[in-house]
Amino acid sequence: AGGVATPKRHENKPVPKEKEEDLVRRLQQICTDADPTKLYGNLVKIWQGEYAGIYTAHQAGTNLSVVIKQMDLEKQPKQDLIINDILAMRSSHHPNIVNYVDSFLYKNDLWVVMEYMEGGSLMKVVTVNPMTEGQIAAVSREVMQGLEYLHRHGVIHRDIKSDNVLLSMVGDIKLTDFGFCAQVSDPVHGKRRSMIGTPYWMAPEVVTRKEYGPKVDIWSLGIMAIEMIEGEPPYLNEHPLQALYLIANNGMPKIANPENLSGTFSDYLAKTLEVDVEKRPTATELLQHPFFNLSEPLWTLMPLIRAAKEIARNK
């Protein structure tokens, strides 16, 4: 078992002191005032980035398996996203949204504790395994259920992609990473205009800076379905700016072998990737789509998850 480690510190543009002090004040209002090293043990580092480290750990007393993201606040380039992420996770309670456990401010590091989804991200599965229509339908249904819950509560995720879908070893599927999410006061008619998200998954109305609402997540989920077919989103080999141009001008993206898809799947893709926002269905409407009747049991994902983890171990 590893100990508590300080994330690697890299030179980057310092955060203005007033902004950092404001962040600390806001975090103090929502974080638990305690020493997390006394509450969580058996920390093992599983990832280290420029500004944060990620650990698996066990909660003292319950032995609950958790994942801890430990962030050096001084070095965080997008501090507003941190608050956004915590507040959205803390207020969201749904089987298809990753469970928030706790957060702590400790020695100028922020610790965010979440349930551990030991299967990793869907991205690791789609890049190494072909998926059947039934498996794609099962994953899409679970994510759609999470989106329906968020949209009903006035939250737009704005960064739906395979990296932000987590799996358990038995195929449970949960949405994570709410840093880019937006809260709209009116769940049906509330609109945003800022261009936020990851380029290849962005809806045309986001790219063209039009007003948009929750249906941007529906488009991104359609792109994620293409990821599950082809192993990557459309235009991934293009420069991000060229990809944005193509998204804005090409309409529904093409896939390599559309004749291999069932009519039901093709219709689902056409509806999620409808450029006309008025015609693009809501999450609630799409949950009634016959494509989801093709869903295989979630346990059928287990071999894919195990294979992806084995490939990652051997790299």
- Whole-number pLDDT of residue 3: 43
CA distances from 55 to 45, 58, 73, 124 (A): 4, 10, 17, 18
pLDDT digits 0-9 by tens, 195-205: 778 999 999 99
Q: Is there a catalytic annotation at residue 159?
A: yes
Residues 182-199 have a mean pLDDT of 72
Residue scoring higher pLDDT (269 or 30): 269
Query: Per-residue pLDDT averaged across 42-62, rounded?
Result: 92
Q: Which residue has the higher pLDDT, 244 or 76?
A: 244
**Domains along the chain with CATH numbers:** 17-115 (3.30.200.20), 120-314 (1.10.510.10)
Question: Mean of the pLDDT values across residues 277-297?
Answer: 98
| pLDDT for the residue 5 | 43
Q: How far apart are CA 233 and CA 273, in angstroms?
A: 13
What residues contact residue 50 under an 8 Å CB cut-off, 6+ apart?
Answer: 7, 8, 10, 12, 75
Burial state string for 28-49 with b = 16 or more CB within 10 A and e = fewer than 16: eeebeeeebbebbeebebeeee
The predicted-structure confidence for 11-39, as pLDDT tens digits, reads as follows: 455 556 677 788 888 889 999 999 999 99
The helix/strand/coil state of 308 is: helix
pLDDT band at 6 (very low <50, low <70, confident <90, very high): very low
Model-level pTM? Answer: 0.89
**Position with higher pLDDT, 136 vs 87:** 136
Average model confidence (pLDDT) for the chain?
A: 90
d(CA 198, CA 60): 37
Of the residues 159, 172, 177, 186, which is catalytic? 159
Q: What are residue 166's DSSP bridge partners?
A: 121, 174
pLDDT of residue 74: 82
What is the reported pLDDT for 278? 97
